[in-house]
Amino acid sequence: QKEVEQDPGPLSVPEGAIVSLNCTYSNSAFQYFMWYRQYSRKGPELLMYTYSSGNKEDGRFTAQVDKSSKYISLFIRDSQPSDSATYLCATHTGGFKTIFGAGTRLFVKA
């Protein structure tokens, strides 16, 4: 079993739709949860960061962590074609190793 499971998609939505991206994880010791966005032929960039459980909002993006069910979510409101990218969930215990999901490819159609 992988430590972080993520549906690779692809996920295709029309412009303006609400997008829901999800991951599950297996290790209850994980405390830090991140979403990275990776455009084609680029390195990943941090999009959202959450410590422990709860919600965090930044503009059109909302990250949720439910530690009781080991479930991580990213919501994108009013999606735009420029949001088309691969979204990687990630987590770590506070140590040196960040564990990534496989990434979900998102396409937002104009």
Partner 1 sequence: ETGVTQSPTHLIKTRGQQVTLRCSSQSGHNTVSWYQQALGQGPQFIFQYYREEENGRGNFPPRFSGLQFPNYSSELNVNALELDDSALYLCASVSGSGTGELFFGEGSRLTVL
Site residues (CB under 8 A) for partner 1? 4, 6, 8, 32, 34, 36, 41-46, 49, 51, 88, 90, 92, 94-103
75: nearest Cα among 52, 106, 102: 106
State the nearest-atom distance from the C-beta of 66 to partner 1, in Å: 20
Burial 41-60, CB ≥16 within 10 A → b, else e:
eeebeebbebeeeeeeeeee
Q: In this complex, which beta carbon is closest to partner 1, that of residue 32 or of residue 75?
A: 32
State the nearest-atom distance from the C-beta of 94 to partner 1, in Å: 7
Q: Which residue has the tokens 């987590």?
A: 91
Q: In this complex, which beta carbon is closest to partner 1, that of residue 44 or of residue 79?
A: 44
Helix (H, G, I), strand (E, B) or coil at 83: helix
State the nearest-atom distance from the C-beta of 28 to partner 1, in Å: 18
